Structure 1
């Protein structure tokens, strides 16, 4: 095992942005721990799949244990796992709330805490969370209070952790996308969603990946909420 080869942990890694991030980090010669509920082990020995619910503390423990036993270190954590439910505030159910909190907040908390503990011992690391531009810039007709509650909390925690760890070798950032073209969006909704951005188009998965890779290489950037939203944040 080459101890100098860097290691990334990616949550929500089985499809969409998460799967693209796994590939992008492998292309940079990182080893990767990829976790999601449904992920399966592939043929690449430098990608280790850890199946589990990110909201369960046991999953975070297994992710860290696998990273250390297989590869000996953790250099980057990408908190990509998340669920998005858009409906009027009074229509949300207790199940909606519990599911969002479990995946978006508990998932962020348990994995980030477990990984940060190892990064502190290592004296270096980078944590990036994928949030949403809607937390800062709500749009009339797009009710997203639970996304704002959960992902907005992660944006705030990103800034706090960036300051908490600023002198300990750990950078903490977030990428805050607009609407990205992924399988979660029904084809008939794409024109409407594209119109939410001043650029009048959807973002692509590659746009988010490029933003994460920029932050990865930007050694003097921490506490940044990087908007990748076709001008949505500027338009407000």
Structure 2
């Protein structure tokens, strides 16, 4: 087994930012483990698709087990899987609450705990959490309590883990995007969403991917919450 080439795990990898990350890591000659509930097999032998619900610990265990079995190492984990439900606070249902916490928090916890264990063994690794700028800077007219509750928690966890593992070779960072032009947003909403950003446009998938690639190569950066939000955070 060739264990010299780097290996990245990407959750939520079937479309949008996740699919962009799979391509970007392959362009850098990483081998990739791609997970989502609807992920399809890749023709590329250096991309291993593992379908399944990342909220299920057994799925996280399979991802890490297959990564080690096929590729022998884990260098990077990008916790990209997530959900955003925009409703007034009093309109959220118990199902909304449970589903958001399961995907945004459980989906982070299980895979990160297991991947970190392997990274510590090899003495190096990098974890990137995709959060949201709304966790730090709420916007009038954009109800976002469940996103702030969960993704704000990931921002805090990012800093905590960064310090806990700083001396063991594992870096932990987050990217906090504004509104990104993904299949999640229908074209008729784009003009209104663009207006939320001081730069006057929505973010592109490539904006987030490039931020993650920067963090991947920035060996002296850990515990950082990198806002990729078209000036939203500065505007506050």
For Structure 1 versus Structure 2, the TM-score category normalised by the shorter chain is over 0.9
Report matched runs for 1:148-159 at 5 Å: 148-159=148-159
Q: Secondary structure at the match of 1:127?
A: strand
Q: Could you tell me how far 1:3 is from its partner in structure 2?
A: 1.2
Name the counterpart of 1:90.
90
- Counterpart CA distance in 2 for 1:130 and 1:144 is 16
Residue deviations 1:24-73 (CA, integer Å, cap 9, x gap): 00000000000000101111110000101010000110000010000000
- Counterpart CA distance in 2 for 1:234 and 1:182 is 23
- RMSD value over aligned CA atoms? 0.5
Q: Could you tell me how far 1:2 is from its partner in structure 2?
A: 1.9
Report matched runs for 1:191-206 at 5 Å: 191-206=191-206
- Counterpart CA distance in 1 for 2:44 and 2:89 is 44
Residue deviations 1:51-104 (CA, integer Å, cap 9, x gap): 010100001100000100000000000000001100100000011011101110
- Counterpart CA distance in 2 for 1:172 and 1:195 is 31
Name the counterpart of 1:2.
2
Q: Could you tell me how far 1:189 is from its partner in structure 2?
A: 1.0
Name the counterpart of 1:42.
42
Report matched runs for 1:1-236 at 5 Å: 1-236=1-236
- Counterpart CA distance in 1 for 2:110 and 2:74 is 15
TM-score under structure 1 length normalisation: 0.99
Q: Could you tell me how far 1:4 is from its partner in structure 2?
A: 0.8
Q: Secondary structure at the match of 2:235?
A: coil
- Counterpart CA distance in 2 for 1:72 and 1:107 is 23
Q: Secondary structure at the match of 2:128?
A: strand
| Structure 2 stretches lacking a partner, 5+ long | none
Q: Secondary structure at the match of 1:234?
A: helix
